[in-house]
Structure 1
Amino acid sequence: MEGKKILVTGASGFIGSFLVEGGLERGMQVWAGVRRSSSRKYLQDGRIRFAELDFTDSDRLEAQLRRHKEEHGGWDCIVHCAGVTKCLDKADFEIGNYWATRHFIEVLSRLGMVPRQFVYLSSLSVFGAIHEADYAPIREEDTPCPNTAYGVSKLHAEEYIRSLQGFPYVIFRPTGVYGPREKDYYLMAQSIARHVDIAAGFRRQDLTFVYVKDLVQAVCLAVEREVTGRAYFVSDGQVYSSRTFSDLIWNELGKPWLVRFTCPLWLLKTISYVAGNGAKLARKTSTLNPDKYRIMKQRNWRCDISPLERELGYRPRYLLEEGVKETIEWYKKEGWL
């Protein structure tokens, strides 16, 4: 790993910033791919090198990559973490996740900059709500059936990458990723701190999670072994009930008094559609929207990580209790809670 040149796109984001740190810790020469307007709050280490990359402008991106090649050469590995998770319109998911990825790879090919390894951060959401009756783990041989615009866009990017002859890809499909700096699960912690905890639906729900540092571990193991032509699910290997996450947050917050409410799915659907359409009219993104409803409605998030353990030697270091503890401590330290 020492001295290996690696580019992390979307480096200013939650997962991207941790991937940058993980690469530095392992002695790699890390380039953080950011836009000119991107925050560098979590990219303060003096060893970080920056590559300005604008995935919203295809012509500019090609010029930026050509200039980088002339001045610095290419990279041994690219970890493509850039993408979109919230959009005003469904079409924006396709643009931000599929088309941006496709154009990036096409430009790399034209410029002779295809690395020895291209790591793509996908999502468990590409498989959608399957095995809902028997709660069997989702496995790589299952047929993807995404039920969200986000999942569809990620699947399209995966299908394009896998269709390229001889392209040195490795795909990671993490389940729910949480940890310091993450903002969606933070909303749950914020709600509990304000004495309200809401669960979605009455039917059994099996959830899986992965602490962000364990996702980084999985990616770095693949980079170290220069694996290509594979796709892996990533979780901490455990399965949790729908209340476990909120119970752990509640405990770390000192067990404040709490009003717990289980929202029927029909009501949650109504609220999500109203909130989503209202936000769309206001030209803003909303945490609650039809896509988010489908995610909360899904009952089975089990996934099979045995190939990751067997082939890469992945061993989760953070179970949910340890990860939530560290996350809540960070939220408190930063004044988020």
Structure 2
Amino acid sequence: MQNILVTGGAGFIGSNFVHFILAANPTVRVINLDALTYAGSLENLKGLPDENRHEFVQGDICDRSLVDRLLHEHEIDTVVHFAAESHVDRSIHGPDQFVQTNIVGTYTLLEACRQFWLKENFAQNRPVRFHHVSTDEVFGSLKPEDPPFREDTPYAPNSPYSASKAASDHLVRAYFHTYGLPVTISNCSNNYGPRQFPEKLIPLMILNALEGKPLPVYGDGNQIRDWLHVQDHCEAIYSILQDGKAGETYNIGGNNQPTNLEIIRQICALLDELRPESPYRPHFQLKQHVTDRPGHDRRYAMDIRKIERELGWKPRFELASGLRQTVEWYLDNSQWVSAIRQQQEYQAWLMKNYAARGEAK
């Protein structure tokens, strides 16, 4: 692992991984390919541990000639593929971009790596690895009594987003079995932490509460998710890159199952404590139940015993400490928040997604 191509490295998880890998491994070089669509921002790449080992390239993973050039020019031996359209609500409003980026983009990367690593024999001289970052949403929804998702749980995606990620997972797995491309896949639970685009639940609640805006709660708010701190996620991916077995899939989760309402309650309690002068205390009074998302999955839970057993990884962040660290980061980084929220597309999306919902009936 010398020259890493990180796709989507200006987004939330990708940028956190770039920060992490440059600090964790002082010899790697990172080529960061990102289209800088709405959720990607160069703000996320400020203050990197060693900028001399990082090169940013603005471009589309569907651009085969660009991907080919980067692989050859930089002798890429490792691809960590984060780039994806990832918001379920956006996939409901416009699924076409999800099919293009998540399926066609992944195919383009796989084909380019197959050409360079296998057909041109680059992999004869050094180990190579294609790591595909995916989601627990490909498994569908769990009933209250169901056991957590395992790596061999059958796929049952329920949204255009999760269906597109499921398709990309199948492509990656097929390239291992059909062509012998050295791949690994990870399916993670809901991530949270610094630099998350503020359309997602946790940053949206933090920032709305600070300004006294309604805290939109889908349906009854009792949907259950497993929450994974992004730093833990980065460490898990690094463990897979170092010791994971080609062709294998690993579940990554935070070992918790709160309801969305419990998450919002904890965030509000932290803001009550950290901003005692706020005129909106108690912040939990700002919650407003709105019409639920169509086909909203009720419960996710992850069985992470495989990665614990085989690679020795487990999450370090408890949910309470992780939420505190996250709230404090948003409070301490108002310039980042301002830069992100000034994007016109962000404001237009909030209006499109939330204004039309109205209060839950």
Selected match of 1:227 from 228, 235, 245: 245
The answer for the alignment partner of 2:135 in structure 1 is 123
In the alignment, what sits opposite 1:13? Answer: 11
The residue number in structure 1 matching 2:285 is 259
For 1:48 and 1:170, locate their aligned partners in 2 and report how far apart those are by CA, in whole Å. 24
* Matched residue, 1:188: 205
Alpha-carbon contact 1:135-1:302 (below 8 Å) kept: no
Shift of 1:312: 1.1
Query: 1:224 deviation in Å?
Result: 1.7
State the SS of the aligned residue for 1:33: strand
Which stretch shows the higher mean deviation, 28-37 or 161-170? 28-37
Q: Distance in 2 between matches of 1:78 and 1:96?
A: 16
The residue type equivalent to 1:21 in the other structure is H
Structure 1: 5+ residue runs without aligned partners?
Answer: 270-291
1:233, 1:18 → 2: CA distance? 19
Q: TM-score if structure 2 supplies the norm length?
A: 0.76
| Matched position secondary structure for 1:19 | helix
Report the Cα offset of residue 32 of structure 1: 3.3
Report the CA distance shift for 1:72/1:34 in structure 2 as closer, same or farther (over 3 A): closer
SS in 2 for 1:153: helix
Specify the alignment match of 1:139 in structure 2: 150
Note the aligned Cα RMSD (angstroms).
2.5
Deviations 1:251-290 (A, max 9, x none): 2212522326573xxx614xxxxxxxxxxxxxxxxxxxxx
SS in 1 for 2:322: helix
Name the % identity.
24
> Is 1:322 the equivalent of 2:321?
yes
Q: How does 1:142-291 map to 2 (within 5 A)?
A: 142-164=153-175, 165=178, 166-182=180-196, 183=198, 184=200, 185-193=202-210, 194=212, 196-202=214-220, 204-254=222-272, 256-257=281-282, 258-259=284-285, 263=289, 268-269=291-292
Which residue of structure 2 lines up, in the alignment, with residue 311 of structure 1? 310
* Alpha-carbon distance between aligned partners in 1 of 2:325 and 2:104, rounded to the nearest angstrom: 36
* Inter-partner Cα distance in structure 1 for 2:204 and 2:260: 16
2:60 aligns with 55
Count of matched residue pairs: 303
Closer, same or farther in 2 for the Cα pair 1:199/1:74, shift >3 Å? Answer: closer
The structure 1 residue matched to 2:112, chosen from 84, 107, 110, is 107
Which structure 2 residues correspond to residues 32-71 of structure 1 after superposition, within 5 A?
A: 32-35=31-34, 39-44=41-46, 45=48, 46-50=51-55, 52=57, 54-55=59-60, 57-62=62-67, 64-65=69-70, 69=72, 71=73
Kindly provide the amino acid, as one letter, of the partner of residue 191 in structure 1. Answer: N
Question: How big is each residue's C-alpha offset from its partner over 1:182-217, in whole Å with a ceiling of 9 and x where there is no partner?
Answer: 121211222333264443334853321000000001
Q: Could you tell me how far apart the structure 2 residues matched to 1:218 and 1:241 are?
A: 24
- TM-score in terms of structure 1 length: 0.81
**Any runs of at least 4 consecutive aligned residues in structure 1 with deviations exceeding 4 A, and if so which?**
35-38
Higher helix share: 2
Report the 3-state secondary structure (helix = DSSP H, G, I; strand = E; otherwise coil) of the residue aligned with 1:206. coil
Counterpart AA for 1:80: H
Task: Give distance in 2, aligned partners of 1:322 and 1:128.
Answer: 29
Question: Residue 83 of structure 1 aligns to which amino acid in structure 2?
Answer: A
